[in-house]
Structure formats: C-alpha cells, structure tokens
Structure 1
Amino acid sequence: MAEESLAPLIAIVGSDGSGKSTVGAELLAWLQERRPTALHHLGKQTGNIGRAIARWPIVGQRLDKTIARKSGTARDPKGPGLATALLIYLFSMRRVRRFKHMLADRRRGITIIADRFPQTAIPGPMDGLGLARAGAGGIVGFLARRERKHYEWMEAYRPTLVIRLNVDLATALARKPDHRPSSLKTKVEDVPRLTFNGAPIVDLDSTRPLDEVIASAKAAIGRALSL
C-alpha cells in the first residue's frame, strides 16, 4: 500500500450492466452531503470509443471490430504484435492520466468514488493488464514492462473499500444490448476473482432492486468511514 495520508477512496467495480454508473451517482450525491466528494472514472473506455466509432458511416463497423480485436488480446498466448501493443499501451496510459487526476483530488482531502479500479491479478477487460501475454523482448516487451510498472504503481494505492457489483450475463445483456456478448461474459466471470491488492471488499447482488443495492452500499461505506 502506498505510504501516503490520503482521503478515502470507494471503488465501485463490476461488469458493464452491473449498475456502476447508477450506483456511483447515487453514492456521490449522498456523500457530498457529508464531505467533499468527487467521482472519477478510471477505465480506459475502449468500449465506449469503439461503440462511438461503430456509428461512423461506411468505415465505422470495420474500425470498431479492429479495436475490439486488438484490445482483446491480453489473454492470447501468442501475445500482441507491435501495432496492437502500441494501441493497448496508449489506452493504458489514458487510464494512468485519469488515475493521476484522481490522486491529486485525494491529496487535497477530497473523498473519491471511483468507477472501476486498475488491478494486476486478472489480465484483460476488467481493468487488468492489456499486455500480460507480451513477449519479453523487443519494443513489445518494453511496452509490457512499462505498462506493468504503471499498473503496480496504481494498484499500490489500495481503495478504502471496494464495492463489487455482481450480475449474471442475461441481466447484463438485457441492460447493455449494444455490447458484445463474448466480452460481457468474460467480464461477468472475472468480477468475483478480483482482489485489488487485499483491499476490503463488499459483494452486492446488483440484480436486486436498486434501492436495496444503494442501501447496502451506503451501509458498507458508513461502516468503512465511520459515518
């Protein structure tokens, strides 16, 4: 854990369709009544970018598929090629930049609600390393080592509390019909395996009514922050 005196950080994690944005907005309004609080999105947002590109006329669908194919190589045993590695690394640096902005707020005493949080335990789309399967040599290996160093640095700032929103694939697909089923399936299966460097974790069933999920999340935060 990073040795700094920082404001609390509540990380909300879960697959797309688990309700992270909705829960985060509710908790932000609730906490802002009690202390200075800010919401930070710590994802790479490759999915959002890809879906926006897919709406472009003529070339959109092809470019979207290319981005999805390249960003989904984290678990490919062959590892990515140079062009793919460069793309993945650039998206990872986008996350690092977002993380630094969040950290600056924590150092100013602002309590943080983080939508997603970087981790190194599980490679791939659940905020894990994108170059985990890269070879050790050459430029690709260099980028992989740089990416891991950045992620280990971010991971060292353990959240005060992780709220892990669990959802089944059918519910996630119903809530996010524009998402790829294969990608959602991977995320849904990965969520229960995330550990976040030993941070305290509260598991919530996000298929339950929203008011129940919010109430459980508030109770967990209240205990963690002694509210």
Structure 2
Amino acid sequence: MRDQKNEANRLTKPFKIVWGRELTMIDVKKQLLEDLNQLKLDNSVLQPNTTYDNRKYQQPEMIIIGLEKDCTIYKRTFIKYQFIQLKKRSISKKFESWIGYDDFNGDLIQVHLCLCGRKADQCDAMENFMNNRAKKVSSKNRFSFRCPSIAVIGSDGSGKSTVTTDLEKWFSKKLDCRRYYLGSGDHYNPIYKQGLRTIVRWFGRSRSSNEQQAVNTGKSQLKKTPDRVLKKGLKKGYCHLNAFYLYRISVHSLKQLKKSNDFSKNGGISLFDRFPQNQFMGINDGPKIRKAYGTINSPIINCLMQMEEKNIGRCVKMSPGLVIKLIVSPEIAVTRKPDHSILELERKADIIHTLSFRDAVIHNVDASQQYDIELKAIKKLIWNYLFQCSKTNG
C-alpha cells in the first residue's frame, strides 16, 4: 500500500527541474568521446561540421569507423548514455546509426558507426561511406521498433500547442516526427465552423435592426428581441449545425489517431496536442453534444450525439503510451487567456489532475516555470521513456 501511495504521489506532483537535484546534467558527447579514448579501440572518430542543409540529409555529430570484433563494446557504450539504435538503412550491412539526448545542451546527438573486418579496410570504408551517405540517407530517421505515441494535455493557458510545436521542430531535426491536433480550437477550422460564424453574424444584424426599431418606436422590449429572432429559425439551425460540427470534431480526431497509429508502427514519433476523453462531458475534449443539446427533442441531434460518443469511445481505446500533463494555476492561466473565466479554468485544472489513461505512463510538469527549463524537462522525460521502450522492444 505504501508503494502504491508513493507512486500516486509521484504521478500527481508537478515535475520541476532543480539543477543538481532531480536531474544531473552531463555533456553526453564529451563523455562519449572520453570513454572511447579510454577503451583504446582501433577506430577513427570524426566530428563533421554540423552547419548543413537539412533538406539534403541528416548530418551526424560523430562518425566512428571501428572493427567488427568491438561491436559489443560500442553498443554497450551507447546504451550507457541512453542512445537508441535507429532503423537500418541500405547503405551497408555493417553500418549502424544511433541517436541520443544531450542533457547539457538539450539537443539530439546522432552517431554513425561503420564496422570493418580489418584495420586496413577502415580508410576504404570511410571513403565509401562519405561518398554514399548524401545519396542514400535522404529521408528522416525512424526507430527500429514501434514508437509509442505521446500526448500533451493541460488546461487552457498551459501552453499545449506551444510545447507540441517546439517538440515537433526539435525531433524533426533528426527523426521523423508528426504533430496531430485533436482539439476544437483555432487549429481546427473546417467549413462547418465558418457556417456557424455566418449564422452568428446574421443573428447580430437582426438583433441590431430590431434594437434600432425599438428605439425609434419608443418601445422598451430589447430583452425580448433576441427571443423573437431565435424563434424564426436561427436558433434551431444553429443548434443542429453546431451539433454536426461537434460530431465532425470526433470524426477528425478518430481519423488523426488512425493515421498516427500507422505512422508509429513504422517507427515514427506521434505527438498529440490534446487527447479525447469520456470521463467528463462537455469539457476538456470530452463529448459535448449531450451536455449542450441533450434536452432538445430532435432525432438528428440524438443521432449525432450517439455517433460522437461512439467515436470518442474508440479514440479512448487508442490510448497514448506517454501522457505529459502541463500543470498551471488558474491565476497564471487567466493572465495568458484573459478572455476565459477563472472559475472555468479552475474546473479544467481540477479535471486535468483527475484524468486517467489506460496503460499510459503519466508525468506532471510544472508549466508555470521558465519555459526553456520546462521544455528541457519535457524532453528529458520523453527521451527516458523512449529509451525504456527501446530496451523492452529491442
């Protein structure tokens, strides 16, 4: 019972970097070079200039030309510093590519390892490798195992979109990474949303016209004007169109998850900005039609409501492997989102703490700390998780 309680506390306590305590920052590239020198292996180590054009090929930070008999030693050294072996290319059967995370700089480090049978063949292997590398390695790297998906969730103002966008840019420098937006905000703007805005504009014009007429005739019935306008069909049309729009959000999320599933199977990294849940209705990416229009007696809305909940239920079954919860206080969130109610932000923050995901590793990160420190903490958590997955699947 005590171990379970400690584990629960670990998952609910926001993760915050304190230099020299939670994380020990080391210069991985420097330590790797020192270890290779101490081992005194028959190898050649090159450190190419990394100022290159990303569109041509993935430039490694280090190229090692060694002997086949030392293969186990190299792998043991790479694993010591949490390097992950990438999917093999067709350059050579004796060629391996490894990638690791540098705690000190917060960057990814790629190492190419080319093994030869004899020491005399190292020069020829180096020449062939350098000639073929730019021609063959033109696409982004992927892992050799199925890469679990990663979801970043949080209340409004926690910085979900900013974090996932920066993570995608960071991963894409060396790895094949895609970001999927699974929410209903400004990042998802289908034609149904434009129809809703048109109806709102029509309603605004009608209300403005009725208000002006009431003023001209001296009638004080401005509060009754919206009801009369809505009864003419705008309210009914708006409710049905909005219910259809909410249903299409669930369809969009399900399609995105299916795409990401195929992508992850081939070793790509899938990042989710938000993730659907069915534990709370009408809020935090949960089903919305029942709470918004469940009291309306309409067969169309009832059908859309059932289909939306079914789609979100299917999304929930495709749970991510790693969930990063961005924890921020409502007082800070309201300064970032001044158009939101603090009471609503408090409720959303409480829900984020409560949300659970099936078979997922969950980490809380303090989103109120300095952003570069927060982002580095998230990178470290993700890389630790990917390294453990590589050991399990390797």
User: TM-score when scaled to structure 1?
Assistant: 0.73
Would the aligned equivalents of 1:92 and 1:147 in 2 still touch at CA under 8 Å? yes
* Structure 2 Cα separation of the partners of residues 220 and 21 of structure 1: 18
Change (3 A) 1:143 1:223: same
The Cα offsets for residues 167-189 of structure 1, whole Å up to 9 and x where unpaired, read as 11111111122345454343223
**2:215 maps to 1:215:** no
In structure 2, C-alpha distance between the alignment counterparts of 1:201 and 1:40, rounded to whole Å? 19
Is the Cα–Cα contact under 8 Å of residues 181 and 273 in structure 2 kept in the other structure?
A: yes
Q: Describe the shift of the 1:16–1:48 C-alpha distance in structure 2 as closer, same or farther (beyond 3 A).
A: farther
Report the 3-state secondary structure (helix = DSSP H, G, I; strand = E; otherwise coil) of the residue aligned with 2:289.
coil
Aligned twin of 2:120: none
Alignment of 1:68-87 (within 5 A): 85-87=243-245
C-alpha distance in 2, partners of 1:153/1:83?
23
Greater CA drift, 191-200 or 164-173? 191-200
The answer (yes or no) to whether the contact 2:153–2:275 under 8 Å persists in 1 is: yes
Q: Structure 1: how far apart are the matches of 2:324 and 2:266?
A: 23
Q: How big is the shift at 1:113?
A: 1.1
| Residue among 345, 348, 360 paired with 1:199 | 360
Name the SS for the 1:226 alignment partner. helix
In our comparison, the structure showing a higher alpha carbon Rg is 2
CA distance in 2, matches of 1:47, 1:113: 15
Q: Could you tell me how far apart the structure 1 residues matched to 2:177 and 2:187 are?
A: 27
Alignment CA distance shift 1:172-1:36 (3 Å): same
| Structure 2 residue aligned with 1:184 | 345
Residue 34 of structure 1, CA deviation? 4.2
Equivalent residue, structure 1, for 2:162 = 22
Contact 2:151 2:272 in 1 (8 A): yes
Moved more, 6-15 or 105-114: 105-114
Matches within 5 A, 1:1-227: 6-45=146-185, 59=201, 85-133=243-291, 134=294, 138-226=299-387
Aligned partner of 1:69 in structure 2 is: none
Preserved contact between residue 10 and residue 159 of structure 1 (Cα < 8 Å) = yes
Q: Is the 8 A contact 2:147 2:386 kept in 1?
A: no
Cα distance change, pair 168–210 in 1 and its aligned pair in 2 (3 A): same
Backbone CA RMSD of aligned residues: 3.4
- Give CA-to-partner distance per residue, 1:82-133, whole Å, 9 cap, x none: 5653343233334334434434433443211111011111222211111344
- State how far apart, in whole Å, the 2-side matches of 1:164 and 1:196 are: 11
Distance 1:173 1:59, change over 3 A: same
**3-state SS of 2:183 partner:** coil
Q: Taking structure 2 as the reference length, what is the TM-score of the superposition?
A: 0.45
Whether the aligned pair in 1 keeps the contact of 2:152 and 2:273 (CA below 8 Å) is yes
Any conservation in 1 of the 2:319–2:357 contact (CA below 8 Å)? yes
CA distance in 2: counterparts of 1:148 and 1:164, whole angstroms: 24
| AA aligned opposite 1:44 | S
Which letter does structure 1 place at the counterpart of 2:349?
V
SS of structure 2 residue aligned to 1:195: coil
Change beyond 3 A, Cα 1:112–1:140: same
Kept in 1: contact 2:161–2:273 (CA 8 A): yes
Gap change, CA 1:139 and 1:17, over 3 Å in 2:
same
Cα separation, partners in 2 of 1:100 and 1:44, compared to 1, 3 Å: farther
Q: Compared with structure 1, are the counterparts of its residues 186 and 60 closer, same or farther at alpha carbon in structure 2 (3 Å cutoff)?
A: farther
Cα distance in 1 for residues equivalent to 2:300 and 2:288 = 15
Segments of 5+ residues of structure 1 without an aligned counterpart are 64-80
Length, aligned pairs only: 203
- Are residues 156 and 21 of structure 1, via their aligned partners in 2, closer, same or farther at CA, if it must alter by over 3 Å? same
Counterpart of 2:257 in structure 1: which amino acid?
Answer: F
State the Cα distance separating 1:146 from its structure 2 match: 1.4
CA distance in 1, matches of 2:362, 2:256: 23
